[in-house]
Amino acid sequence: TAYHIDCGGLTNSTDNFNTTWLSDRFYTAGSIGLVSEPLRFLNLQEKTLRFFPISAGKENCYLVPVPDGRYYIRTFTVYDNYDGKWRTPSFDVSVEGTLVFSWRSPWPEEVYLSGAYSDLFAFVSDGEADVCFYSIATDSPVIASLELIQIDPAAYDSSSLGNNSILVNYGRLSFGSGQWGPGLSNDTDVFGRSWQSDAEYRFANSAGVKSVSTAKNVVGTDQSPNYFPMKLYQTAATVIGNGAMEYELPVDAKLDYLVWFHFAEIDGSVTKSGQRVFDVVINDENVSRVDIFKEVGSFAACSWHHTVNNLSSTVLSVKFVPVVGVPLICGLENYAIVPVDLSTVPDQGNNIHISMRVFDSWD
């Protein structure tokens, strides 16, 4: 089951990447808007939007009928002065009754003009995916597109997490590449995930970093339950000379985070275990020692995950420290583990406020 809804769109359309977008539907209220500079946007679903004026009430929703199961849910949010007021709105977004995104004015300029993706994984148990918008003061919430894609129920270690948590994306990085994935390139991802470049998250004092890539096939990709795409493992970042690679991801404190790592030994000069060994350090805690070749050999995908409990800071620091040779990493994902809790809807006063995540903005 998959829905790609062009919010504010009057007709079905197909974008440059052959995704079919449905005309706007399943909303409870609201009005149609158009960005002020439509020629800046490539596809129709980027140009139209639905906004919810205060006259429609403080809460408005998309109620999408779907089979029970786990879903990847992605929103594209843009303002671009569609209403001529030159003021971005403040509002909250909930999924299945749990607050997941908080937009606060003023938005960053690049998001104001070009829009941003936000996404998460959630379980739907009542035959209807509820995505709701809550006005702050008299501001009008906005949404330009809404996507829901059913995924493997066992994805992302759901057997341990259970169905009572939502995984909110706080960074999905592809190392040694630019951004890619559905909506950004012709590269496919079964779940609909898009991937950001790692470059903007490198810590300033990190060692010199270079990109490496391969055209060879990498085995163990696109497999159940996570279906990580081969492209993710065909590029990587490594160190020039000696030293550690360090990355800093902005997060919200007092939450648990699921951090997913992706490796593949795509350097043909590494031919046996023990030639590339490095430690993974998260917020100064050494959480693992990695020898990719020892685990899976060469040109094979390797992934593992670690949970950071009750993070006390607003930065998640990830450092790759050499032991033998230099570190090499292909991808990293960071998800806030948000407990499903009906008490978090904004009108009940017991709020968690997760900062708006700028996922991929359009150039």
| Main-chain phi, psi angles of 269, to 5 degrees | -80, -15
Token pair, residue 57, equals 């009430």
| Main-chain phi, psi angles of 46, to 5 degrees | -85, -25
Top-confidence residue, 354 or 218: 218
Tell me what pLDDT residue 207 has: 63
Q: What is the pLDDT of residues 154-200, one digit of tens each?
A: 999 999 998 999 999 999 999 999 999 988 888 989 999 999 999 98
Tell me what pLDDT residue 227 has: 98
Query: Is the pLDDT score of 289 beyond 70?
Result: yes
Q: What is the pLDDT of residues 296-331, one digit of tens each?
A: 999 999 999 999 998 889 999 999 999 999 999 999
Query: Is the pLDDT score of 351 beyond 50?
Result: no
Q: What is the pLDDT of residues 249-265, one digit of tens each?
A: 999 989 999 999 999 99
Beta strands in 136-243 (DSSP E): 142-143, 145-150, 165-174, 196-197, 209-213, 235-239
Degrees, nearest 5: CA angle 60-65-70: 100
Per-residue pLDDT averaged across 288-300, rounded?
Answer: 98
What is the Cα–Cα distance from 333 to 314, expressed in whole angstroms? 16
Q: With CA atoms as reference, report the closest residue to 70 among 143, 133, 2.
A: 2
What is the Cα–Cα distance from 223 to 342, expressed in whole angstroms? 34
Query: Is the pLDDT score of 346 beyond 90?
Result: no
Please give the model's pTM, rounded to 2 decimal places: 0.92
pLDDT bucket at 90, cuts 50 / 70 / 90: very high
**61: enclosing H helix or E strand:** strand 59-65
Q: What is the pLDDT of residues 33-80, one digit of tens each?
A: 999 999 988 888 999 999 999 999 999 999 999 999 999 999 999 999
Residues ≥6 apart with Cβ < 8 Å to 117: 74, 75, 76, 183, 194, 359, 360, 361
Tell me what percent of the residues of the chain surpass a pLDDT of 70.
93
Query: Is the pLDDT score of 352 beyond 70?
Result: no
Tell me what pLDDT residue 359 has: 40
